[in-house]
Amino acid sequence: MKINLLIIIILICGTANSQILKLKPGQKFSYDAINSTDRKDKKYSSNTYEYWKTNFEVISHKNGIYTLKVSPEIFLTKWGDGIHDSTVPFEEQPADFMAVAKKVMTGCSFELKIDEKGNISAINGIPEIKTAIMAKLKALNTPEGYEKHQKLLEVVPSEDYFKEHLPFFKHPVRSFNLDTTVTKRSPEGAEMSTTHTITKFNLITTVKDKFIDLSTPLMAEAKAKLNYTDYYTPINKAKRKIQELADQFNHEKGNQTIEAKVLKKLDSLDKGFAKDDYQYMGAKLGLLTYLNAGGYWDVLEKVPYEYLPGENDIDNKLTRDLQKGDLSQVKKAIELSFTKFKGKDYYPMNMGNTANSIHDHFGGLIYRIQSKDSLQLAYNIIKQIEELNIPIATEMLKGMKTYVQAKLATDQKELAEIANINFNTVFDKAGRYRILIYDELVKKQIPDSIKMAYIDYTIDLNKKKSNKSIQALSKTSALFILHIS
């Protein structure tokens, strides 16, 4: 068998500082590459990650200049929490300029001119690629974001863009790795930012026009980095499609047919999942909230708490349960709200609404309960929530717990001790429960001295709270006046 690899790409080293390309017309080869960049400064950090594969065919060699046909084949790009994947059909692409543009580029080719040292002298065919991208964006009715499509076309594709994706000929070797860190400093020498970049690429060769090593180590590395397999599980694909439908509905809000269109697509999506697939049913809730005929409440009724996708869904489901007098899921609902949906800081992401919902409905049910057994059940649930060791949840329920104790209390000594329990945190509705507890003290004929002490303490608490509010308002007003003066 003849050794045909010699006609694929031969590198002849002339000097220690230069390498000369030796390519032959008709020769075909590919490169694939990875670029990973992390940028950090004092206030901002970002990271980008991309894998791409490009095919080359040598057209001619004249006067020291090679002409190559360049055909991008694959782009896999980390994009926010997702992936832009040019290998999937247009109908599966997100409605995003970059995703559509890169998919279009994999169906195009352009002409590259380079000298024997790998210097790029010209890239021909970019206007045709831009025209193809714009035509596809219009055909797909891809919405424009903050930057208009025409403006983005000035950057992607552009000569600079393609040069960044053609680093191979300056380092014409079978495999290349470059790990660099660039630090920018102020004139005084202080570190302002750092950029860490890792670039890798591999030559993929052909024998008799058939590519070998189609599944390359770099592709495997990229897919592992991007969690590619998990990204394309049926449920994750469905979640992305549901989000696209929600975005489409909001984008075309006011269109009289948009709801019917979205419901039709959702019905088609439903067919791929079992009727009791709670993960999928939960994923639909975010879209169903927008649709008048979407059946949000019917689906919410069927989905267990642990499959609910949002804190508001838990609030809504718990409200319905409590309206029916069902206390069995209170602990689970509160535990999920304060763990699964905890924000970056101390509180859950939607703490105000969660607290209001729990006080209005759980607390409201406790207010209406007359049965001692039912009150004891409510008290036991609050104790179980305390045992979860979630401080903010314990604080939030302290007033409610004290009120239940007052309703359960039967003797004067116990009531006197309850009257001395203090609570006054951000979300505990202290004012509401202190009034309700006072009503219990009156009903159960607690001595006037205890009642008066309780009233004085409550008034003092309210004064302190009012003073804090006034001070905060005064500071805000002063800052406002200072700003406009």
- Please report the pLDDT score of residue 8 as a whole number: 41
Predicted confidence (pLDDT) per residue in 185-216, tens digit: 888 888 888 999 999 999 987 655 454 445 58
Lowest mean pLDDT among 92-96, 230-234, 365-369, 471-475: 471-475
Instruction: Kindly indicate the confidence band of residue 466, based on its pLDDT and cuts at 50, 70 and 90.
Output: low
Judge whether 216 and 52 are in contact, CB under 8 Å. Answer: no
| 185 exposure class (CB count in 10 Å sphere: 0-12, 13-18, 19+) | exposed
Mean pLDDT to the nearest integer, 1-22: 46
**Confidence band (pLDDT; 50, 70, 90) for 451?**
confident
Is-contact 388 335, C-beta < 8 A? yes
How high is the pLDDT of residue 353? 86
Q: Is the pLDDT score of 1 beyond 70?
A: no
Of the two residues 328 and 464, the one the predictor is more confident about is: 328
- Residue 348: predicted pLDDT: 74
Distances (CA, A) of 260 to 216, 285, 397: 45, 17, 44
Angle at 60 between CA 59 and CA 62, to 5 degrees: 160
Side-chain half-sphere of 290: how many Cα atoms within 13 Å?
Answer: 22
pTM summary value: 0.74
74-127 tens-digit pLDDT:
999 999 889 999 999 998 898 899 999 999 999 999 999 999 999 999 999 999
Residue 232 above 60 pLDDT? yes
In this prediction, residue 207 carries a pLDDT of 55
CA torsion, ordered 114, 115, 119, 123, to nearest 10 deg? -20
pLDDT at 236: 94
| Residue 379: band (very low, low, confident or very high) from pLDDT cuts 50, 70, 90 | very high
Please name which of 66, 58, 59, 149 lies closest in space to residue 104, comparing C-alpha atoms: 149
Q: What pLDDT was estimated at residue 9?
A: 42
Is the pLDDT reported for residue 3 higher than 60?
no
| Average predicted confidence (pLDDT) for the chain | 86
pLDDT range class, residue 455, cuts 50, 70, 90: confident
Q: How confident is the model at residue 382 (pLDDT cuts 50, 70, 90)?
A: very high
Check whether 475 has a pLDDT greater than 60.
Answer: no
Output 461 or 247, whichever has higher pLDDT: 247
Report DSSP letters for 374-421, one per residue.
Answer: HHHHHHHHHHHHHTT--HHHHHHTHHHHHHHHHHH--SHHHHHHHHT-
In which band, very low, low, confident or very high, does the pLDDT at 369 lie, cut at 50, 70 and 90? very high
- Write down the pLDDT at residue 204: 86
Say what the pLDDT of residue 206 is.
60
3 state SS of 77: strand
Q: How many residues does the chain have?
A: 485
Distance between CA atoms of residues 254 and 413, nearest Å: 64
* CB neighbour list of residue 402: distance below 8 Å, 6 or more residues apart: 418, 421, 423, 433, 437
pLDDT above 90 as % of the chain: 59
* Residues 6+ positions from 296 with CB-CB distance below 8 Å: 285, 288, 289
- Is residue 84 a contact partner of residue 77, using CB atoms and an 8 Å limit? yes
Mean pLDDT, rounded, for 261-266: 92
Give pLDDT tens digits for 288-341. Answer: 998 887 789 999 999 999 999 998 999 999 999 999 999 999 999 999 998 888
Greater model confidence, 419 or 98: 98
Mean pLDDT, residues 379-384: 96
Classify 76 in phi/psi space as left (phi over 0), alpha (psi -120 to 50) or beta: beta
**Residue 346 binned pLDDT confidence (cut-offs 50, 70, 90):** low
